[in-house]
Amino acid sequence: AQSVTQLGSHVSVSEGALVLLRCNYSSSVPPYLFWYVQYPNQGLQLLLKYTSAATLVKGINGFEAEFKKSETSFHLTKPSAHMSDAAEYFCAVIRSGGSYIPTFGRGTSLIVHP
């Protein structure tokens, strides 16, 4: 079985501050991990994915995430938040050797204050 836990349903930061969105996974085999962003009334857009190559993954819009096997984590970070980063962020896992179906976390709403 595979699962994802996103700690914090809401994260609030000031513009220019560090963004840290937490994701912990559970998988009995090496996983593929994804971060998606969803803006209001839109579908999900892939930010970045981990596919067992480099553990530090860089994505679009200045986001990156680090795969830490020992901590079963895949936290999303961005050094400096922009107002345009305000959105819902979802972490997802696919179990390698499994099906093509990802399991999504419940999402974290990022709020950016001016």
Partner 1 sequence: DTGVSQNPRHKITKRGQNVTFRCDPISEHNRLYWYRQTLGQGPEFLTYFQNEAQLEKSRLLSDRFSAERPKGSFSTLEIQRTEQGDSAMYLCASSPNRGGLADTQYFGPGTRLTVL
User: Binding to partner 1 by residue 43, rule CB under 8 A?
Assistant: yes
User: Binding to partner 1 by residue 22, rule CB under 8 A?
Assistant: no
Question: How many residues line the site for partner 1 (CB under 8 A)?
Answer: 25
Positive/negative CA dihedral, 53, 56, 62, 63: positive
Cβ proximity to partner 1: between 70 and 100 the closer is: 100
Residue 33 contacts residue 93 (beta carbons within 8 Å): yes
User: Binding to partner 1 by residue 96, rule CB under 8 A?
Assistant: yes
Q: How far is the CB of 5 from partner 1 (least distance, A)?
A: 11
**Pairing outcome for strands 10-14 and 108-113:** parallel
Q: How far is the CB of 8 from partner 1 (least distance, A)?
A: 13
Q: How far is the CB of 112 from partner 1 (least distance, A)?
A: 20
Q: What gap in Å lies between CA 25 and CA 16, rounded to an integer?
A: 28
Q: What gap in Å lies between CA 76 and CA 96, rounded to an integer?
A: 21
User: Binding to partner 1 by residue 110, rule CB under 8 A?
Assistant: no
Tell me how far CA of residue 42 lies from CA of 37, 45, 47, 88, in angstroms. Answer: 10, 9, 14, 10
User: Binding to partner 1 by residue 37, rule CB under 8 A?
Assistant: no
User: Binding to partner 1 by residue 102, rule CB under 8 A?
Assistant: yes
